[in-house]
Amino acid sequence: MADKVTIAVDAMGGDDAPSVVLDGVAQALAADEGLHVVLCGPADVAEPFAAAHERCEARATTEVIGMGEHPAEAVRKKKDSSIVVGCRLVKEGEAQGFFSAGSTGACLAAGTLVMGRIKGVARPALATVIPSPVRPVVMCDVGANADCKPSYLVQFAQMATIYAEKIVGIERPRAALLNIGEEEAKGSQFAQEAHALLREQLPNFAGNAEGGDILAATYDVIVTDGFTGNVCLKTIEGTSKTLFKTLKGIMMKTPLTKLGALAIKGGLKELMAQVSPDTYGGAPLLGVKGACIVGHGSSNAYAVKNGVLTTAGVVRAGVSEIIAQTVAAGASSATME
């Protein structure tokens, strides 16, 4: 039986909340006997669901942060919102992790301001598992820090390496810096400085990665600034959706192509599952005290289920504690030098 873990969940997060969130939470509870959920949301949503499900309790909230609101301002003003309350539960020890498919900006702000940064972490960073058909690839940062110093990327790589190993299950992950060429002298001054620091401070650093290396899974961890990472991620997701939509149109065009589609239906389903972002359910905010997973706004019940289960997995694997130890060890080494 899995160790007991309590996860706070934002009932109002996502385009189709609360219905898909409730369905996803129910599926997660059924899949994990050690999982306890604190459902944060309006009383008329959270309380009936909690009453009907074992290992779930309601935490009534009176406010919701919308997708279009200014993240930091909303977090400061709406202290009784489902996002802020969920993060506060982690800070106060009533939960060990938080999951939301709501406003990414608000989750980042609440995770950082309410849950708090791990001591020594300069900037918490958002990581994600790139939907590669070859094997999983972890990219960090993908949107939390648009403006970065080269030194930040060292911590991003350290944190993403821990996530890749402990949660994704990649043994001895190889990390690379996203750049415009393989040679260490390539790229901007920022990229060259980051390369030098990574080579010096990151034992698993394998050099520069180009854009074509991402889906090819040449490396296990790709590190970059949040601006570049976010553009890269959305380009990959958009390309994937467009290709599958176009392919479907071609296959449904004539009776003959429909027959061909039936012949490869199983293979296509397998490929779609491999490249689906729903498999992991969300992106972890690494560097905060506790587990914080941010799901996609368009998450379905399957994605919510996996997001909640991934949050529980991050807690059980002690990812935050390992990051704290790694950062502390790095600071200690720097002091001795």
Per-residue pLDDT reduced to its tens digit, 130-157: 878 889 999 999 999 999 999 999 999 9
The partner residues of 222 in beta bridges, in order of sequence, read 139, 176
Give residues with Cβ within 8 angstroms of 297, minimum separation 6.
14, 15, 67, 101, 102, 103, 104
Which residue type occupies 99? F
pLDDT at 332 over 90: no
- Indicate the range of 119-123, 316-320, 330-334 predicted with least confidence: 330-334
Angle at 113 between CA 141 and CA 326, to 5 degrees: 50
221's enclosing H/E stretch is: strand 221-223
Give the pLDDT mean for 211-240: 93
pLDDT at 248 over 90: no
pLDDT at 281 over 50: yes
Query: Between these two residues, 238 and 323, which has the higher pLDDT value?
Result: 323
pLDDT at 121 over 90: yes
- What proportion of the chain, given as a percentage, has pLDDT over 90? 76
pLDDT at 230 over 90: yes
pLDDT category at 264 given cuts 50, 70, 90 is confident
- In the prediction, which pLDDT does 274 show? 62
pLDDT at 335 over 50: no
pLDDT category at 336 given cuts 50, 70, 90 is very low
Cis bond leading into 147, ω under 30°? no
Give the pLDDT mean for 213-222: 96
Single out the residue of 275, 280, 272, 271 nearest to residue 302, CA to CA.
280
Contact 125, 106 (CB under 8 A): no
Q: What domains, with CATH codes, occur in the chain?
A: 1-121+287-319 (3.40.718.10), 125-279 (3.40.718.10)
Query: Between these two residues, 10 and 234, which has the higher pLDDT value?
Result: 10
Most confident of 141-145, 182-186, 244-248: 141-145
- Indicate the range of 11-20, 72-81, 128-137 predicted with least confidence: 128-137
pLDDT at 272 over 70: no
- The mean pLDDT of the chain is 92
- In the prediction, which pLDDT does 333 show? 53
pLDDT at 337 over 50: no
Q: Does the reported pTM lie above 0.85?
A: yes
- Indicate the range of 100-104, 120-124, 234-238 predicted with least confidence: 234-238
Give residues with Cβ within 8 angstroms of 91, minimum separation 6.
114, 115, 116, 289, 290
Single out the residue of 34, 14, 4, 60 nearest to residue 293, CA to CA.
14
